[in-house]
Amino acid sequence: MWHIYQFPLCPFSRKVRLLMAEKGIAYELQTARPWEGEDRFFAMNPAGRTPVVHETERAITLSDSRAICEYFEETVDRNPLISGTAQQRAEIRRLVAMFDENFYAAVTEPLLHERMKKRLVLRQSPDAKMLREAMKLAHDYLDYIDYLIDNRPWLAGATITLADFAAAAQISVADYLGGLDWSSHEQARAWYMWIKSRPSFRPLLSERMEVIQPPSHYAEVDA
Amino acid sequence: MWHIYQFPLCPFSRKVRLLMAEKGIAYELQTARPWEGEDRFFAMNPAGRTPVVHETERAITLSDSRAICEYFEETVDRNPLISGTAQQRAEIRRLVAMFDENFYAAVTEPLLHERMKKRLVLRQSPDAKMLREAMKLAHDYLDYIDYLIDNRPWLAGATITLADFAAAAQISVADYLGGLDWSSHEQARAWYMWIKSRPSFRPLLSERMEVIQPPSHYAEVDA
């Protein structure tokens, strides 16, 4: 049995959980809070980041969310999510990187800092200017999703891939933290509804991060 | 023929160039300066980052350095650099991510900001405190390389892999910018000498970024 060390609002853990659920790989959740700097967690992943996945039976520990996704893609044939020609696979990986790195740095990370870390760790109020800036940058990414969905059924092409789950993982955290304005993004909104309504997504939508509450539309699959 | 859009001190472009050279894939360099915000470059890569690789004949444009490396690994059999079992490949990718993301954020990016961007774009002096902090964090990564090389011939295991080139690419830029103190890092220093002496590395060591000069030991393969 795989164990995933994560916290409910970690977008990279969400991406790994979505891929595992789509592939039918069972897992148990373990809570990790890398910002507390616990030695046991850093021993599993010197990079100090969630998620880490661990399988006790074979003593396998894996970290870095993209390395984990590639590992399960290589070892579990069911529901390939990094599939197609080499060029199609490059397009999937380009979009995964864009959401993992650019969207995270511009939107998810500032929102997590202002709305989660300041509340749970620093005991400060969020900075309204930082929140506005993150929401403005989120708007640009929703525009880009609108553009992709105007041209393709799914973000990377004809089928659902890891690109959709990487994007939806980041977006779900930003949405939980009230950082997204969906008005004027009809295509992105429709695409996100399709993803939200998948069985793999349901467990994420029902979880809560301690005292932090999502907006009312967050867990609705038709809103 | 492949064209690589890059600038001489882009660590991600260096990683791609090293992999292409090791695999015997010919390329021509094109200069891109993403910080100038040129529309033509953002049209090739909406994420706005170097490198982008382009092949005119088949009209293939690829971006994100890890997606590019995976593409060449999949399409060119010679000298596999993401090889072995799924678990070994996960270890290679974990280390690539650590240097691409963690080392870059802690060391390369602040050094590029202080020593390159401030000089070429902002016309400011570097902030000594930021430089000291980057050097301090670099020390921790050199310690980690010392530890790995105490236990393995190469960073990810028995053979040279993309992990070594990803790490060396970041380290070469940090070294160019005077951000590394090699004293007390014998294993990391020996490992870096082996990489520096490979034919794939030579072209990188001879290039200069405009008015910015590297320290005298930078291009020496026995120093």
Residue B39 pLDDT level (bands cut at 50, 70, 90): confident
Q: Prior bond to B126 cis, omega within 30? A: no
Residues of A in contact with B91 (CB under 8 A): 67
What is the identity of the amino acid at B123? R
Close Cβ partners of A149 (under 8 Å, ≥ 6 residues apart): A155, A187, A188, A190, A191
**CA proximity to B151, closest of B91, B220, B103:** B91
Residues of A in contact with B85 (CB under 8 A): none
Interface test with B, best of A71, A76, A100 (most B CBs within 10 A): A71
pLDDT at A36: 86
Q: How distant, in Å, are the alpha carbons of A8, A9, A174 from that of A208? A: 7, 8, 14
The Cα A50–Cα A76 span in angstroms is: 22
Does B93 sit within 8 Å of A70, measured CB to CB?
Answer: yes
**pLDDT tens across B130-149, in order?**
999 999 999 999 999 999 99
Window 92-121 of A, Cβ < 8 Å to B: 93-94, 97-98, 101-102
Answer yes or no: are the C-beta atoms of A173 and A11 closer than 8 Å.
yes
pLDDT at A35: 87
Residue A204 Cα to chain centre, angstroms: 10
Residue B82 pLDDT level (bands cut at 50, 70, 90): very high
A66: exposed, middle or buried (Cβ count in 10 Å: 0-12, 13-18, 19+): buried
Answer yes or no: are the C-beta atoms of A93 and A167 closer than 8 Å.
no
Min distance A95 CA to chain B CA atoms (Å)? 9
CB pairs under 8 A between A and B: 74
Q: Which of A36-40, A56-60, B108-112, B152-156 has the lowest mean pLDDT?
A: A36-40
Interface test with A, best of B70, B99, B142 (most A CBs within 10 A): B70
Residue B223 pLDDT level (bands cut at 50, 70, 90): low
| Threshold 0.90, pTM exceeds | yes
Does A66 sit within 8 Å of B89, measured CB to CB?
Answer: no
Residues of A in contact with B52 (CB under 8 A): none
CA dihedral over A17, A144, A83, B26, signed as positive or negative: negative
pLDDT at B21: 98
B204 pLDDT higher than 90: yes
Of the partner residues A67, A75, A144, the one whose CB lies closest to the CB of residue B97: A67
pLDDT at A173: 97
Residue in the block written with tokens 């609108």? A146
Does B90 sit within 8 Å of A71, measured CB to CB?
Answer: yes
Interface test with B, best of A94, A148, A151 (most B CBs within 10 A): A94
Q: What would the 3-class secondary structure string for B131-175 be?
A: HHHHHHHHHHHHHHHHHHHHHCCECCECCCCHHHHHHHHHHHHHH
B87 pLDDT higher than 70: yes
pLDDT at A223: 57
Of the partner residues A71, A75, A94, the one whose CB lies closest to the CB of residue B64: A94
| Domains located in chain A, CATH noted | 2-75 (3.40.30.10), 86-206 (1.20.1050.10)
Residues of B in contact with A2 (CB under 8 A): none
Chain B contact present for A61, CB below 8 A: no
Chain B contact present for A143, CB below 8 A: no
Residues of B in contact with A102 (CB under 8 A): 47, 49
Min distance B62 CA to chain A CA atoms (Å)? 7
Chain B contact present for A140, CB below 8 A: no
ipTM, two decimals: 0.96
pLDDT tens per residue across all 223 residues of chain A: 999 999 999 999 999 999 999 999 999 999 999 988 888 899 999 999 999 999 999 999 999 999 999 999 999 999 999 999 999 999 999 999 999 999 999 999 999 999 999 998 889 999 999 999 999 999 999 999 999 999 999 999 999 999 999 999 999 999 999 999 999 999 999 999 999 999 999 999 999 988 899 999 999 887 5
What is the identity of the amino acid at B147? Y
pLDDT at B41: 92
Does B46 sit within 8 Å of A98, measured CB to CB?
Answer: yes
Of the partner residues A60, A94, A98, the one whose CB lies closest to the CB of residue B87: A60
Residues of B in contact with A93 (CB under 8 A): 64, 66-67, 70
Q: Helices marked H in A98-157 — which ranges?
A: 109-111, 128-151
Which uninterrupted H or E stretch holds A19? helix A11-22
The Cα B41–Cα B67 span in angstroms is: 18
Residue B36 pLDDT level (bands cut at 50, 70, 90): confident
Task: Name the residue in chain B with its Cα closest to that of A70.
Answer: B90
